[in-house]
Amino acid sequence: QRRFPNEPEYIQAVSQVLETIEEEYNKHPEFERVNLIERLCIPDRIIKFRVNWVDDKGNIQTNMGYRVQHSNVIGPYKGGLRFHTSVNESILKFLAFEQTFKNSLTTLPMGGGKGGSDFSPRGKSNAEVMRFCQAFMSELWHYIGPDCDVPAGDIGVGGREVGYMFGQYKKLTHQFVGILTGKGQEFGGSLIRPEATGYGNVYFLQNMLKTRNIDLKGKTVLVSGSGNVAQYTIEKLLHLGAKPVTCSDSDGYIYDPDGINEEKLAYIMELKNIERGRIREYAEKYGVKYVPGAKPWFEKADIATPCATQNEINAEAATALINNGIIAVTKGANMPSTPEAVRIFQEAKVLYCPGKASNAGGVAVSGLEMTQNSERLKWDREEVDQKLHNIMDDIHENCVRYGTEPDGYVNYVKGANIAGFIKVAKAIMAQGIV
């Protein structure tokens, strides 16, 4: 806090991890002797650069570009790129820090990083997005590589943006290598990567429900967001017989009491991925409620799954969810609950997990994409989905192992943080003072 007073999101993420690992940390005096905490919390390096690009009117636009390389003790830096007007150093540092633990949890050899820009693709033409991505990669390529740092997508960076950046990297280096994950199927992308975060989120939810013998079938679910993670969370919920009733974007949310079915989901995918429209249009098409400027947490349902952005559930929303009888909260997004909201969920003993556990499926399949690229092979859909499922089961098992409290309540936040921390800490110790 003293060193980074103007970075609230980063302080929030670090504080939450440190609070939950304290007990475990104190069992290891050898960690204290090598100043492990500071070495773990401060990123290896932050790369910051200017991005100039030309808009359709011929004006020169300038944005900031960043890559936070947090830790490579267990593998090459790995983590997404976020293109959104809200992007700043604090947000990327929190995401890179979280990513290090998340990647550790996946059991795959990946370190943690995150990057992005305050550029937003929203309202931009395809040609503008392409020129921006090319300009961004013209600087970033110096600092990444298949054995050094492998970025992926995040908010505002989907298949289109990854494709443009991959093309520019190839042009600059004359090399076709697995430098980004989330690539198109035609040029090295893994099957199931687009679905992975959403599917993994629901596999994790199933595991949590199983601990209380609750079936997902027939349960109503509040979903926020309508991007990549929200769409495939909804798809998997439908496969398993649940009933998603909301989704949102940064302008507001829709509530569909009949449930978002396969046909309506196909419409959302077309609306958000192709037409790049607003979720309000869903309400107009299907004649359902649209609430501008609000989030869906005050509606009644069995389960909530935030899949948009950080700090979208505050204390008031958490209290409303509990008063409405929520059973479980599982996170597609990174750090979507404020610290007060986390406390409220845990005190009420609802099934509640941190994003680094439930949304790790995306980076896990990114790790599998890296393996396929190195092997120059492509695995089939079933094989990747099965591996994803197994990884989510392992993460859940680790959370239960490290997070079960004396009264039997599983503190998934604590469990995920300790499981992720132990592996990273041991690797730091083994590699000396570097």
Residues of the binding site? 78, 99, 102, 153, 197, 228, 366
Please identify, using beta-carbon distances, which residue of 360 and 425 lies nearer to ligand NDP: 360
Least distance CB 266 / ligand NDP (angstroms): 16
Residue from 65, 188, 332, 415 binding ligand NDP (CB under 6 A): 332
- Does position 227 interact with ligand NDP (CB under 6 A)? The reply is yes
Please report, as residue ranges, which positions from 333 to 372 form the binding site for ligand NDP (by CB under 6 A).
333-334, 359, 362
- Does position 154 interact with ligand NDP (CB under 6 A)? The reply is yes
Site string for ligand NDP, 112-131 (x = CB under 6 A): ----------x---------
Residue from 226, 233, 358, 411 binding ligand NDP (CB under 6 A): 226
Candidate segments 243-251, 261-269, 341-349, 395-403, binder of ligand NDP by CB under 6 A: 243-251
Cβ atoms < 10 Å from Cβ of 258: 10
Positive or negative torsion for Cα 233, 238, 240, 242: positive
# binding residues, ligand NDP (CB under 6 A): 26
Please report, as residue ranges, which positions from 287 to 316 form the binding site for ligand NDP (by CB under 6 A).
307-309
Name the active-site residue from 27, 48, 114, 387: 114
Instruction: Please state the residue numbers annotated as binding site for substrate.
Output: 78, 99, 102, 153, 366
Candidate segments 27-35, 202-210, 225-233, 415-423, binder of ligand NDP by CB under 6 A: 225-233
- Does position 155 interact with ligand NDP (CB under 6 A)? The reply is yes
| Interacting residues toward ligand NDP by CB under 6 A | 84, 86, 122, 153-156, 158, 197, 225-230, 249-251, 307-309, 332-334, 359, 362
Question: Catalytic amino acids?
Answer: 114
